[in-house]
Structure 1
Amino acid sequence: MPTWDLAPVSLRSCGLALPDRVVTNAELCETLDTTPEWIEEKTGIRERRFLGADETVTDLAVRAAERAVRSAGIEARDVDVLIVTSSSPEWIVPSLGVIVAERLGITTPRILDLAQHACASVVYALHTASCMLQEPGMRNALVVCAEGASRLPDPDDRTVRIFFGDAAGATVLSRTEGPGGLLAYDLGNAYSPAVALAGPSMLNHARNTPGRAPVNPHLTMDGRVVWQEATTRVPKSVAETLSAAGVEASEVDGFAFHQANVRLLRYIARTMGVDAAKVPVTADVLGNTGAASALTALWRLAADGKAKAGDLIVLGAIGAGFMWGSMCFRLPHDISTEE
C-alpha cells in the first residue's frame, strides 16, 4: 500500500462532544428481551450516550468541531478544508458540512460530506483531507465525524440496539514542516449487504408502490458477518500500512481503532500481538458511535498524554459496505485536546 510521499500532513488536535444522557444496560433491558449481564458479557458495553429529545447530530458536530479548532490554536477563518461525515444526519440536504461551516463561521468553499462510509468514515475523510491539502496555499483541514447512531436501529431489536450510542469527534489535520506526519495508509472495500440502512428513495418507492413489500426503515446488521470481516480486514490493513511505513507493530505508541465493541477490540489486539494498553477502549462507556468511533479512541490517547511529539499513532476502522482502512502517523507535535 502507498507511502505518503507528498507534502507532510499530521494530526494536530482532537475534539469530542457527547450527549449528557447516559443509558445503562439496565435501562435498555426495561424494553428489550435480554439482561444487563448478557449485554456486557457479549459486547463488553456497560453504558452509552443517547441524544436528548431536543438534541441533534448537528449540535454534536458543531461542539466537537469548535473544540478541535480551539485546541489546535487556530480560528475558523484558518480552516481551508472542511470534511463532515455522518450516517445519521437530520437532513440529506442541506449539507451537514455547510451547516457546520455556517454555525462556526468557516468561510472556505472546500466543503465535503461523506455519508456512506459508515464507521470507516474517519480514515476516508482524513485521506481525502490529506489530498486536498496538497493544493498550494492550503494549510488546515477540519474533519468532523458525528453520529446519532442510537436512533437508527429498531427500538425493539435486542441484537442491534444494544451496540450503539451517540457522539461526535473532530480533528484538525495540518500541513507540517520537516519529517513525520502521515507515513502510509491502506484502503479497501468488498461489497456486502450484512449492514444496511435504506434511504428515503427506497422507502418512499416501497411506500408509494401498490403491492410492493414494505422496506425495513431501521439499521440491520448480521453480527457474525461483521465479526468475521472486522477481525480479518482490520489486522490485515494495519499490517499493510505498517509494512509500507517501515514500522513494526511493537514500535507503535497507540492504536485508535473503531470501537465496534469491547470484545472485538480485544480480539483484534491479541490477533496482532499488540499490548492491550496501547489500544484505548471507549466502547465500554460509549458503545459503537459509528463514524465518530475511532476519534473517541484518538481523543482518549491524547487526553491521557499518549499522543506526544515523536509518537507513532495508527488509526484503523471498518464500516458497512464493507469499507475499511488504516493510517500511520509520526506525530511532529503533541495532539492537543480538551474536555
Structure 2
Amino acid sequence: MEKAVLRKLTTLCVVCGLVCLVLLGVAGFRDTNREWKYYQEDYREKLMGKLGRDKNPAMYQRVAEMKPELKQVVVTEWQTVDRCVTCHISIEDPLFAQAGQPLKTHPYPELLKQHPVERFGCTICHGGQGLATTYYGSSHEPIHNWPVTLVTKGLMQSRCGYCHKDFEAIKADKLIAGRALYQELHCAGCHQINGQGGAVGPDLSSFADKDPSNFSLENLKGSRSKQNWVIEHFQDPQRVSPGSPMRGYAMSDKQVEALASYVLSLNQREFTRKYTPKLRAGYLPPRVDTVLPEPELGTTSKVEADGNRDLRL
C-alpha cells in the first residue's frame, strides 16, 4: 500500500516538474517575442538602410549594435510613466516621416519641439495607458473602465485644454467653437463651470477628471468609452441617459465634436510654473454663463439654424 502511494506521489512530482518546465519555457518564449522588440528591430534595420554603411560608418556601426530595450519617460508632474517610445521609437526621427505606424515621425514636429517627449511624455496629450508595452494594453482600443483611452483625432484638442486656458492664443478652433456652442445652447442654465451657471445638472468644472465608472455605458451604440459617451450623449441624451432632463439639440457632427472637445477639456488640475503656459498680458478668462436671449433659441436652437456656417473645423 505504501509503495503504491509512493509511486503516485513520485508520478505527481514528475508531472508537476514537467509542467513547471513547460511554463518556464513558455514564459521565456513570450519574453523573447515581445511585440515591441519586433518594432525596435524593424527600426534598426530600416535605419541602417537609410544611413548606409559608406555614408556614415560610425553612426551605422552604432545603429548596428543597438539592442532591444524598454524605454520610458517619467513625468512626476502628473505622476505618469510613459513607455510609448518603446514602440514609437522614431517619433522624433525625421527620416521616418513617411513610415507607417508605430515608426512614423510625429506629424507636427514644431509642436513636439514645444512639448519635448522627455519632459512631457505622451499620455498627457494622447491619453492611453502609458505603462503598457502592447497595442491593446496601451488602450489604442478602449479598455473597460480605463480612465483615459487613447484620444481620437477629432477630440485631440480637448487635451490641449488641460493646460492651455487661452484657446485663442494656441488657435484651438474646436475649443473656441465648443465654448461658443456652450453659451449659445444656454448650457449654463443647468450646469456650472468654475462657479458660473446653474445647479440643475452636474457641475462640469472637473468633467475631464471624472472616472468612466461614473457613466452608464450600456446604452451606447459605439465603443464603451467616456469619450464616446459624451459624443452620443450630445447626439441623443434620452437614449444614452433615459429619464435625463437634458434637452436634445439638432447639431451637426462637427458641432458635437467641438462641444465634446470643450467639455472634455474641463479640469481642475494645477501645474507648477514649469508646466504652466504663459498667458497674454491682460488675459481674462471669458465667462461661460453669458447666454443668448431665450427667443433666439428655438426647438432646434440657433446652432441648427446656422448649421451651414463655417466653424473652422
TM-score, normalised relative to structure 1: 0.26
Structure showing greater Rg = 2
Higher relative contact order (CA 8 A, sep 6+): 1
Higher strand share: 1
Higher helix share: 2
